[in-house]
Amino acid sequence: MPTQTDHSRWLIPGLLAGSLVCNVTALAVPFLRVDIFLKGEQVYSLPRSAYLMWESGLYVIAALVVVFSIIFPFAKLATLGLVWLKLKDAAQQRVWLNRIEPLGKWSFLDVFVVCIILVLTNDQFFVSAEPVVGLYFFIAAIAMSMTCGSLIAKRVGSSQAGSSGVAVRLASAVGWHRWAVPLLLLLWGVALAAATVFPYIRVDQLFSGYTYSILDSALAMPPKGAYVVAVVAGVTLIGVPFLQWLGHGVFWLGKLSPTERVRWQRRLHLCGQWAMLDVFGLALLVFLLEGKSFVKTETAVGLYVLVGAIAINLISVAAVKVVAKRRVAGVGSGADD
């Protein structure tokens, strides 16, 4: 693998090294600053931010943060290094990549917990929070790790790309898929739009009461100086999910050759890795269950819309994959025009 002569020969090791350095730095430098009335200002590193959540009664979130944001990133880097430097067999490389890549985006759980804390403490009298440099090192570390994994997966998968076969249009499938998948895609788009603008939470404090949607959450962070966090939230919770939805629509309607189909499947897989409504949804659900001692909150209709959007997303992606597999194999095929 590392004998390749293209840019991956230096880019992948560089990303691995950069991610490792940023991960170590993120553990050591300040991560979050919290100012609580009568308790004063406290600055937390990433490990101490997990301790803050534990101390605040957010036990499940604290445990998830430790697993996915502290332990797993180093385990993933070690695995990627093993795949890139040691394993020669493509089948073994795919096995290990398939084990760790689906979990990669869950390292962003702590980032979304910080997003939620920033949103809930926005314009509050008794508590305020703002991110500091450690959070940005952590975001860079996970982004580099995920990019590195995608590049290795692309290199490994390139040996599988075949060019034989005929172009097919998934939309020409017969049976229940012909109407069910377009209906699912339509519902998915509507649910995404609704989840973006419908308030998912209400903050009910003594001197204030605000509701927040995902869009409101992204817009609430720049005034607190959290521009990078706002961009991450906007891209992964709004931009990429809509791109993933549009991509599946093109994949469904387009008449694609085998080579084009492989390329689109890679693009859709990449979108799936960076579309993080499910990660945000988990952070939000656990925070709502445990976080009332931190900031008094109430659920709003957007939370249920968000859960519905995540469910429809999963069902739609699975349905398109089923049809693609059957059409390519010639099972239940219809006439291609």
Write phi, then psi, for 66 (nearest 5 degrees).
Answer: -60, -45
Which residue's structure tokens are 């101490």?
48
Per-residue tokens: 235: 């891209």
Amino acid code (one letter) for 197: V
* Residue 245 pLDDT greater than 90, yes or no: yes
Question: Given a cut of 50, is residue 334 above it in pLDDT?
Answer: no
Of 20, 26, 129, 21, which Cα lies nearest the Cα of 75? 20
DSSP letter assigned to residue 238: I
| pLDDT for the residue 274 | 95
**Of residues 78, 97, 75, the one with CA closest to residue 157:** 97
pLDDT for position 324 = 86
Q: What is the pLDDT of residues 7-42, one digit of tens each?
A: 667 888 999 999 999 999 999 998 888 777 666 677
Q: For the residues of 45-98, what is the DSSP string, one character each?
A: -HHHHHHHHHHTT-HHHHHHHIIIIIIHHHHHHHHHHHHHHT---HHHHHHHHH
146 has a pLDDT exceeding 90 = yes
Of the two residues 198 and 157, the one the predictor is more confident about is 198
More confident call, 54 vs 209? 54
For residue 85, the model assigns a pLDDT of: 82
Question: What backbone phi and psi angles, to 5 degrees, belong to 6?
Answer: -85, -170
32 and 65 Cβ atoms separated by less than 8 Å: no
Higher-pLDDT residue of 119, 330: 119
Reply yes or no on whether the pLDDT at 333 is more than 60.
no
Q: Tell me what pLDDT residue 92 has.
A: 79
Q: What is the largest CA-CA distance in the chain?
A: 72
Please write the tens of the pLDDT for every residue from 203-240. Answer: 766 555 678 899 988 888 776 668 888 999 999 999 99
Please tell me the total number of residues recorded for the chain in this structure: 337
pLDDT band at 337 (very low <50, low <70, confident <90, very high): very low
pLDDT at position 256 is 87
Q: What is the pLDDT of residue 5?
A: 44
Of residues 143 and 169, more confidently modeled: 143
In the 3-class helix/strand/coil scheme, how is 195-211 assigned residue by residue? HHHCCCEEEECCCCEEE
The helix/strand/coil state of 122 is coil
Residue 53: the pLDDT is 75
Predicted confidence (pLDDT) at residue 268 exceeds the cutoff of 90: yes
